[in-house]
Structure 1
Amino acid sequence: MDIFNLDEVPAFTTKDSSEIRELLSHRNSAIRQQSLAEARIPIGRQTIAHYHKKTEEIYYITQGTAEMKIDGEVQSVTVGDAIAIPPGATHQITNTGAVELRLLCCCAPPYEDHDTVLLED
């Protein structure tokens, strides 16, 4: 049985500059076709605009407010919002709130740096 607590999972920085805590993936569990991670973005910061060649993502906001940009469309998002990001869609999220932004990231296939294409430095 694979069970991991968020408070016990080490953080790392992804290619898009997010601080990630990968909860479940092929790297630490029996899960093979997807991954689940929590991302944290400090107040006033944003991810680097990017897309994934193969991976589709779901973002689920658990803390804070943000501006979500997908293929040029911009919308405000907040706690409880789920965001669909298809493969190939350019996306970027900006923390617009007064607290650290936290969101769950579900990726299928599982997140890999080599599938991430950055659009800014």
Structure 2
Amino acid sequence: MDVVSYRTLEPFTTKDGSTIREYLHTPAQSLAEATLAPGQSTERHYHAVSEEIYLLVEGGGTMELDGASREVREGDAVLIPPGAWHEITAGPEGVRLLCCCVPPYSHDDTYFA
């Protein structure tokens, strides 16, 4: 049984600029927690292969997906299909979200304009 504790996870910065702690990374999927400080944005990017789901667990901000923007907040889930350009900008309280990627997150599958 794989059980991972938040207290043991080392944060690192992804290519898009968010700070994440990766809970689990298997050949099939990955689950990580990302945080952005108030006003901080990820760099607009896409993943050619991975589908992502963002689940906001604290705070909120503005989510842009393929040119459409909307406010998102704690409790919202966002589906990001492969190939969809996306960016999230934290609101005044910052944002903390869980990111599930299938197949798992890879720096090599992160593309910028």
Shorter-chain TM range is: over 0.9
Within a 5 Å distance, the mapping from 1:18-33 to structure 2 comes to: 18-26=18-26, 32-33=27-28
Structure 1-normalised TM-score? 0.91
Structure 2-normalised TM-score? 0.97
Structure-1 separation of matches of 2:105 and 2:40:
21
Match 1:113 to one of 87, 103, 107: 107
Instruction: Determine if contact 2:21/2:32 at 8 Å carries over to the other structure.
Output: yes
Q: Following TM superposition, where does structure 1 have runs of at least 4 consecutive aligned residues deviating by more than 6 angstroms?
A: none
1:90 aligns with 2:85: yes
Point out the structure with the larger strand share: 2
Structure-2 separation of matches of 1:54 and 1:75:
24
- Unpaired runs of 5+ residues, structure 1, are 27-31
Match 2:31 to one of 18, 33, 36: 36
Structure-2 separation of matches of 1:109 and 1:66:
26
Structure-1 separation of matches of 2:98 and 2:19:
12
| Corresponding letter in the other structure for 1:8 | T
1:57 aligns with 2:41: no
Identity of aligned residues (%): 48
Residue correspondences, number = 113
- Unpaired runs of 5+ residues, structure 2, are none
CA RMSD in angstroms, aligned pairs only: 0.8
Structure-1 separation of matches of 2:74 and 2:56:
5
- SS in structure 1 at match of 2:17: coil
Instruction: Determine if contact 2:13/2:19 at 8 Å carries over to the other structure.
Output: yes
State the shift of 1:5 in Å.
1.2
